[in-house]
């Protein structure tokens, strides 16, 4: 008989597994077990997943404390959880920014899971999403300051200049503190040009309403996890131009990439010989220009969809 583990450890294992599954699939234009980028390969992501897991466990423990009435949801410290996780991930590998977007998506999800009841090692998606809304809406200016520190640690590429409260502007943190601007409010400003921020402030609509159901549907149809992940990735990318690409080379190019992703799917993707060849050509196209066309934000959304699947009871 398998020993029963505590809920916080279970949540951390689910989220760690989601990261490992995401990087294991050979999605076009992304790091996978076969192809990497200059200075970043799959081993950096594996190390990152291991480094992040204890922080997800702590986030779940904070959520459990909220459910027991020991702390308020405002005192969870989502920002410091994100910052400390990013710092540990950076310390454990030399491949640069591997998981910033994923950590930002996963941390409140871990808290929400900690707040939720678990039955037969699975969580109810509607309860998770309701808790997630509570966690995000309760964020504070201190959370915002901590996330700014996390971004400076991770040094993500393609950050660009924000129209307001730019992370590279030293006066931004001062304004956040003086004007009492919460992390949720900061992300509202960024939501028009960053999909991870948009997910946060809108209660993860793409993750819960499109990516996760599509992933489960693809799993049912194909029975193969790699195929399901790739087809879900293409589906999300076709429908939502990648904001990581848009920040680096413009929205027009991001829309062109999305159009090609749609064509690959229309050709059958991995289910047909023509689709497989178009997928191969798409991958070559995305890797040509020093990975400027890397759909990194789409990968974060797929990781979040996988997280929901595993938290919901799916096992590979």
Tally of structural domains, the chain = 1
* 67 within domain boundaries: yes
Residue 58 CB partners (closer than 8 Å, separation 6+):
8, 81
The domain spanning residue 304 has which CATH number? 1.10.4200.10
Instruction: Give domain status of residue 91, yes or no.
Output: yes
> 150-154, 162-166, 181-185: lowest mean pLDDT where?
162-166
pLDDT, mean over the chain: 94
Per residue in 176-223, pLDDT tens?
999 999 999 999 999 999 999 999 999 999 999 999 999 999 999 989
Contacts (Cβ under 8 Å, ≥6 apart) of 232 = 211, 214, 215, 218, 302, 305
Q: Which domain holds residue 208?
A: 7-311
pLDDT of residue 290: 75
Residues 6+ positions from 212 with CB-CB distance below 8 Å: 125, 304, 305, 308, 309
User: Does any domain span residue 1?
Assistant: no
* pTM, full prediction: 0.95
pLDDT(295) > 60: yes
Domain presence at residue 2: no
The residue assigned the tokens 């702390």 is 71
Closest to 165 in 3D by CA, of 153, 182, 155, 249? 182
Digit-coded pLDDT (tens) for 99-136: 999 999 999 999 999 999 999 889 999 999 999 999 99
* 316 occurs within a structural domain: no
């Amino acid at each position: 008989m398998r020993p029963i583990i505590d809920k916080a450890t279970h949540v951390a294992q689910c989220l760690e597994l989601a990261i490992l599954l995401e990087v294991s699939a050979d999605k076009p234009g992304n790091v996978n077990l076969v192809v990497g980028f200059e200075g970043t390969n799959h081993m950096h992501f594996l190390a990152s997943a291991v480094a992040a897991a204890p922080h997800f466990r702590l986030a779940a423990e904070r959520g459990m404390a909220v459910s027991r009435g020991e702390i308020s949801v405002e005192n969870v410290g989502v920002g410091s959880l994100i910052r400390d996780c990013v710092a540990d991930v950076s310390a454990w590998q030399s491949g640069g920014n591997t998981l910033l977007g994923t950590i930002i998506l996963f941390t409140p999800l871990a808290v929400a899971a900690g707040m939720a009841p678990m039955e037969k090692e699975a969580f109810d998606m509607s309860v998770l999403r309701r808790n997630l809304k509570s966690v995000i809406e309760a964020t504070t200016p201190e959370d915002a300051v901590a996330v700014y520190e996390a971004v400076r640690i991770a040094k993500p590429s393609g950050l660009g200049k924000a129209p307001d409260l730019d992370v590279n502007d030293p006066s931004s943190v001062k304004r956040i503190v003086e004007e009492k601007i919460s992390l949720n409010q900061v992300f509202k400003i960024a939501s028009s040009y960053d999909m991870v921020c948009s997910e946060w402030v809108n209660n993860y609509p793409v993750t819960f309403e499109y990516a996760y159901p599509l992933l489960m549907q693809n799993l049912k149809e194909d029975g193969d996890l790699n195929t399901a992940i790739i087809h879900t990735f293409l589906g999300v990318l076709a429908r939502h131009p990648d904001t990581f690409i848009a920040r680096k080379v413009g929205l027009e190019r991001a829309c062109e990439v999305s159009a090609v992703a749609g064509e690959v799917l229309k050709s059958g993707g991995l289910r047909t010989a023509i689709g497989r060849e178009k997928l191969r050509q798409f991958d070559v196209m995305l890797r040509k220009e020093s990975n400027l066309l890397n759909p990194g934000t789409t990968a974060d959304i797929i990781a979040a969809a996988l997280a929901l699947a595993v938290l919901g009871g799916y096992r590979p």
